[in-house]
Amino acid sequence: MTDLAIVARGLGKKYSLRQRETSTLLRDQMVSFFRSPLRHLRRNPQETFWALKNVSFDCRPGEVIGLIGRNGAGKSTLLKILSRITRPTEGWADLRGRLGSLLEVGTGFHSELSGRENTYLSGAILGMSKQEIDSKFDAIVEFSELSQFIDMPVKHYSSGMYVRLAFAVAAHLEPEILLVDEVLAVGDSAFQEKCLGKMNEISGTGRTIIMVSHNMGAITQLCKRCLLIDKGRIVEDGATHATVSKYLASFTSDSTSVEYPADSNPASPAVTLRIWIADQSGQPIGSVDVRKGFQVGIKVLVRKPSTGLDVGFRIDNSLKIPIFTSNMSQAMGRNDLLNLGENTFLIPVKGNFLAPDLYSLTVGLHRPNQEIYEMREHALNFRVEEAGSDMWQYHGANYGNILVDFQWRRL
C-alpha cells in the first residue's frame, strides 16, 4: 500500500440526535430531572445514527475520483474525515501527501483576515514558504478576479466571491491531494467552466482529487472512477459512467407507461393523458434492443380549440442532457392542428440510432415560441440495451448517444 495516496479502512461516524439541555445551570437541570426522571435515565437507541459505516477504499496518486449520492448519504462527512476536520467514530484513513481541501463555504478561511492574509495563511498551513506563496500570489488573484477586494476581510465577501478565492488558493498552492465539495454549486456559469478547466489541468499534473458534486456532467467529464454512497455506505465503486447510470436509475421507476387524469391542469386547453415507450407492434416496453428501435406513444386530450397548439417530446440521456426533440408541427406541418377530443400518436425511432444508455422522455404541450401549456419532465425512463449487438464500443460516455450511419466513400 506504499504506492497509494489515500487508504481508508472501516471508516464510520456516529452522531447523537439527543437534544441537549437548553440551560447549563444545575438548578434548571435538576428541575428538568424531577419533572421527567425516566427521560433522563432511558437511552433511546433511535437517538443516534451512523452518517458513515464501514467505508473502505484506496486511491492511487493522480486518480480523480467522483463521490456521488443523494443528499444526506454521507459524502460531505467522508470528506471532512479525510480533511481531518471531523474525527471518525471508528476506522482510520491515511493520506500520503500535502492535503488541500475546498469544502462548504465558510470552511478554511479566517473571517477576520483579508483575502491576501488568508492566502498566505493557507499556504503556510500547507507547509509552503513565503517565497513559494509570493510566486503564485498574482496567479491566484488573477484567477479569482478579486484584485480590488483582496485586502478586504473575507467576512464581507459574498458566497460567490468566497468560493472564487477559496478555489483559486486550493488550485494554485499545489497540494498533492485535493478534496473538493460542491465547488460548482456557487458562482456563475462562466466561473464554473473556469473551475472545471482548472481541475482538468490539475488532474493532468499527477495530483489526486476527490470531488463531490451533483453535477453529473462535471463528474463524467473529470473522473474516470466514481464512488456511490447510499445511507453512509459505499454501494458501488467503478467506472464513472456505469456508476452514474446506477445512481440516476435509482430515481426512476420500472413503469412502462404513465397516465394522467383528464381533469389535471385545468387552465390548459389540452392535457396529456398517457405517455409510453412501445415496441414495433405498439406494446409498452421499458427496455429497447439497440438494433430494433422503438416507438414513442403520446395520447393528448384537447378540451378547446387553440390556434397553433403543438405537442412534442424530448429524449435526454442518463446525465439528463437533451439528445433530440421532435414536434408534431415539424413533422406534419403547422396547418395540421390537433383535433378536439383525444389525439393519439405513435412516433417510430429507428434502430441503431440511440446508443446503449438510460434515457428519459419529456412531453410538452405548447404554442411554439409563445407559450408552454404543460411540460411532463422526465415522465418516463427506458433503457437502450446492447443486446449482443457488438455495439459496446459506442458506450454513451465516450462516443456520444447518437449512432449515425454516414455513407463512406473511398477516393
Alpha carbon of residue 389 to chain centroid: 31
Q: Are residues 119 and 211 in the same domain?
A: yes
What DSSP designation does 397 have? H
**Which pLDDT band holds residue 28 (cuts at 50, 70, 90)?**
low
Asked whether the predicted pLDDT for residue 253 surpasses 90, the reply is no
Answer for the pair 349, 296: CB distance below 8 angstroms, yes or no.
Answer: yes
Query: Is 100 among the domain residues?
Result: yes
Average pLDDT over residues 279-295: 86
DSSP-based three-state secondary structure for 243: helix
Q: Taking the model in full, what pTM does it have? A: 0.64
Q: Are residues 365 and 298 in the same domain?
A: yes
Q: Looking at the 3D structure of the chain, how many domains does it have?
A: 2
| Per-residue model confidence (pLDDT) at position 399 | 67
Domain boundaries, position 263: 257-399
Q: Are residues 17 and 135 in the same domain?
A: yes
DSSP-based three-state secondary structure for 324: strand
CB atoms within 10 A of CB 191: 19
| Per-residue model confidence (pLDDT) at position 183 | 65
| Per-residue model confidence (pLDDT) at position 392 | 47
Largest separation between any pair of C-alpha atoms in the chain: 96
Listed residues 226, 249, 272: the one ending a domain = 249
Query: Is 155 among the domain residues?
Result: yes
Report the CATH number at residue 213.
3.40.50.300
| Per-residue model confidence (pLDDT) at position 192 | 76
Q: Are residues 50 and 133 in the same domain?
A: yes
Alpha-carbon Rg for the chain, nearest whole angstrom, is 27
Answer for the pair 47, 20: CB distance below 8 angstroms, yes or no.
Answer: no
Q: What is the pLDDT of residues 95-150, one digit of tens each?
A: 988 887 777 655 668 888 999 998 998 888 777 788 888 999 999 999 988 999 99
Give 48's strand partners.
Answer: 16
Q: What is the pLDDT of residues 4-23, one digit of tens each?
A: 999 999 999 998 876 544 44
pLDDT, averaged across the chain: 83
